[in-house]
Homo-oligomer: A and B are copies of this chain.
Amino acid sequence: MPKKRKVFFLSDRTGITAETLGNSLLSQFDDIEFQRTTLPFINSPEKARATVETINLAASNGEPVIIFSTTVNNEIRSILRQSQASFFDPFDSYVPELEKVLQEKSLHVEGRAHGMPDVGRYESRIDAMNFSMHHDDGQTRKGLERADVIVLAPSRCGKTPVCLYMALQHGLFCANYPLTEDDMETRRLPEHLMEFRHKLFGLILSAERLQQIREERRPGSRYASLQQCLFELNEAEQMYRRFAIPFVDSTAMSIEEIATLIMHEKGLRRQTF
Contacts and interface: CB of A to CB of B under 8 A. Distances in A.
8 contacts: A13-B257, A14-B259, A19-B272, A41-B261, A41-B264, A88-B98, A116-B254, A129-B161
A271 to B, nearest CB: 10
A273 B253 CA distance: 12
B97 A161 contact: no
Identical chains in the assembly: 2
A20 B23 contact: no
B270 A102 contact: no
B161 A102 contact: no
Interface of A: 3, 5, 13-17, 19-21, 23-32, 38, 40-41, 64, 66, 70, 72, 86, 88, 90-91, 93-95, 97-98, 101-102, 104, 106-109, 112-117, 122, 125-126, 129-130, 133, 136, 158, 160-161, 164-165, 168, 252-257, 259-261, 264, 270, 272-273
A28 B73 CA distance: 12
Contacts of A20: 16-17, 20-21, 113, 272
B66 A122 contact: no
A31 B104 contact: yes
A104 B93 CA distance: 23
Contact of A70 (B24, B115, B256): B24
Nearest to A68: B94
Contacts of A112: 24, 27-28, 30
